[in-house]
A and B are shown apart, each in its own frame.
Chain A
Amino acid sequence: MKLSTGERWDLIDKISKETVTFGAYKHTLKDAIGELTVKPMTGIPVAIAIMYGFWSVFGSFAGFFTDGFFVRLFDAYWLPWLQEVFPGQGGWIYAIMVDAGGIESGEFVLSSNCLESFGVLTSGLFVAIGVVLPAIIIFYLMLALLEDIGYMPRLAVLLDTVLHRVGLHGYAIVPTILSLGCNVPGVTATRILETKKQRFIMMTLLAIFIPCGAQIGIMQDVVPDLMGWILLYLIIGYFVFGYILNKIVPGKAPEFLIDVPPYRRPLLSNIGKKVGGRVKGFFVVAIPFVLLGCAIVGVLYQLGVIRFLGDALAPVFVGWFGVPKETAGPLIAAFLRKDLAVAQLSAITMTPYQMITAVVLVSIYFPCVATFAMMLKEGWKELLGALAVLSVVVFTYGGLIHLIGILLGVA
């Protein structure tokens, strides 16, 4: 037998009267902290402090291990050793696996560091293990803390108004923050949004504007001075294009109701398991892709494909985006791994503003293959729609950034 909603509630009322006694509710310290972090007057400063803390810890932890340890290990020992023992110096296998080298005054010279060498065993391993691994370990550690304490729903409440402007609501902060770790779980998390419109907007914005933890890690290492500008361009893009999408995508953007859970003391075992699981995922999925991406770009260089593409697309790269045509190589790598692409960009000589433009382009131009596959799983229509938006965004926004540079007199 089935009850109507009213009958069901009546029955439950009766049952709970029989079985539950509600004592006097005491306002506890936990509640007080809970309120302080949700009310805008106190909540916004707290949120800023938390984000700032997150960023500082992230930067110093990743910097400590990368610059203090891995850079020395890879550049002073690993690279020279491989350059020495790997057979066939100057040959194409050597170039792809160890060091593509460079030509200086007509002579072949070896690279002096692991970012310039472009080899699978040098650049590939250095980017994956030396730079990205420390970055994602600390990122996931802090993310797990925020998740388990119960801060995320509070951030959602705080940001609700702002996110309504882009057709979403506060809870969209969950997929957004998860995407800062990796876009793949971010795309899956869009399922907590109610309507197709919201899911489409969210997925599109994630794929285009949210750099993943691996990418942020490498940016922090190779272009630390330009980080502010790059992130600013991405955040502005997120809101501007979200605003436009909200206007043109049909459908509803309903309000959200949320249970803000009580703050809880995080369990060390759970944090450990979560971080361990995600880092393991990185080893299994990401590292092979970094190495594969390195190999593919290496082969394409050797075959002259990248030079050809660079020359063919030079009008677009140089004329429209204002970046060197060599950017073609990293953009191909970006489809496999964005972190690798940023690392390769750093080896190309360009002005700081060109670097900002190039890194933003790498971020927005195409989701990496893992994200692409996950979006396909969520629906091919949405994926096609997102790619259409993406093409428009890359050209307009890329051109706009170039124009801003010209107007500022820096491009």
Chain B
Amino acid sequence: MTARTAARMREIEKGFLVGLGRAAGGSIVFALPVLMTMEMWSLGASMDRPRLALLLVAIVPLLVGLSHYIGFEETETWVDDLRDAFVAIAVGFVTSAIVLSLFGLIGPHLSFDEVLGAIVIQTVPASFGAVIAQGQLGQSDEADDSRNKQAGYGGSLLFVASGAVFLSFNIAPTEEIDFISASMTPWHAIALVLVSIAMMHAIVYSVGFEGQSATRPDDYSFWSVFVRNSLPGYAIALLVSAAMLWIFGRLDDLGASAALRLVIVLGFPAAMGAAFARLIVGGQS
């Protein structure tokens, strides 16, 4: 190996370390609300184990997709994206473990079950934050920028789903959503659905999560956006919120109508997260 390539390698490793630092910062920023929420610690101990495993499996494709469109590093192939997703998980896992230990929330006085569960739950928002940190805090890079614009329909739906997960994850385990849904009448629920869709459409139509102004298609009309983006977006938000509630075991003891109402209540933040996905997740574009 010549001196020149050795120097180049050092430069690459140094650049990666800087990226790691940024990812760790991002993961702490995004995971703090969850790190400091009591329900989240106890959930780790009491959660159904297969569902906890499913949660960990489910974030991998989401992170791969996010990494592909916004990027923790500029990525070329799906191997790069997969590696970036696992880098994000490693960063998220380690930062969560460190912060939880600093707070004295995990330690030798707890059983292995509890410690592992608590860390795994925190890893979800933390690894999200690690990927997003690049989109929000990092410099924009040309390759990802252009792909951002070419994200296409499938890509935009992925943004919607990740935005919905992002905002509903913190809220799904709280007692408050039970209280809210219990104090609502059926009329409130209907109004909430309509308002959720209307707000989602307003945000989507004005921000435009597909392609942005650069490639605004001709059929960018009110109803076209409504049918192609806003309605499917709300449907995804509801699906995400139902999945979140089920994973956290919140739907287990509920009847169908109570469960639906809970899904609609959580669907509100999920829809807002979905609509703002382009702002929160899409970063600079």
- Are A and B genuine complex partners? no
Seen from chain B, the residues whose Cβ lies within 8 Å of a Cβ on chain A are none
